[in-house]
Amino acid sequence: MTIKVGDTLPAATLTQATAEGPKPVKTEDFFKGRTVALFAVPGAFTPTCSAKHVPGFKQLGPDLKAKGVDEIACLSVNDAFVMRAWGEDQAVGDDIIMLADGNGDFTTALGLEMDGSKFGMGKRSQRYSMIVKDGVVKELNVEQGGEFRVSAADYLLAQL
C-alpha cells in the first residue's frame, strides 16, 4: 500500500555519510518535532536528478525555510558513500541532507519503489516530494514515470 497524506511515516533506518563514517538515521528521530521537505530520486548522479531536482531544492532552500521548513532532505536507494559524493558534487553543503536508503527498505515501506531493472538499476525509488510535519505526511507529490514536474522544489514551495 502506498503512503498517503495524513499517514505517519514508517519506522526505518536510513544512513548518512559523515566525516566520522556512516551514521544511522532513524526516521522516527529525524522527522520528530519538525517540518521536513523530503524529495526522493531514482538515483544519484542521474541526469534529471543532477541537472534539475537537487539544484532546484538548493536554489529554493531559503524560500522553503522561510515558509516553515526546518530541514530539506534528499533520499535515494544508493549507499551513503554515493550520496555523500553526490552531495559534494552538487555542493549542497548543509543545505540538503543526503540520505541513503541502501536496501530500499524505507522506500518499499512507503510503497514508492520502482523496478529500474530494464535500465540496469534494479530496485529504486520513484521520484517524489513530500512535506512531513512531526512524522506525518502533509503533502505528497509522486511523479508519473519519466516525468519531472510535481516533485520539483517550486511545486512543493507553492503548497506551503
First to last CA, the chain: 26
Residue 122 · residue 116 · CB < 8 Å: yes
115 forms beta bridges with 123
74 labelled catalytic: no
Residue ranges of E strands in the chain: 13-18, 21-26, 35-41, 71-76, 97-100, 113-115, 123-125, 128-133, 136-142
Name the residue among 14, 13, 36, 11 with its Cα closest to residue 138.
Answer: 36
Catalytic residue among 49, 72, 83, 132: 49
SS3 30: helix
Catalytic residue list: 49
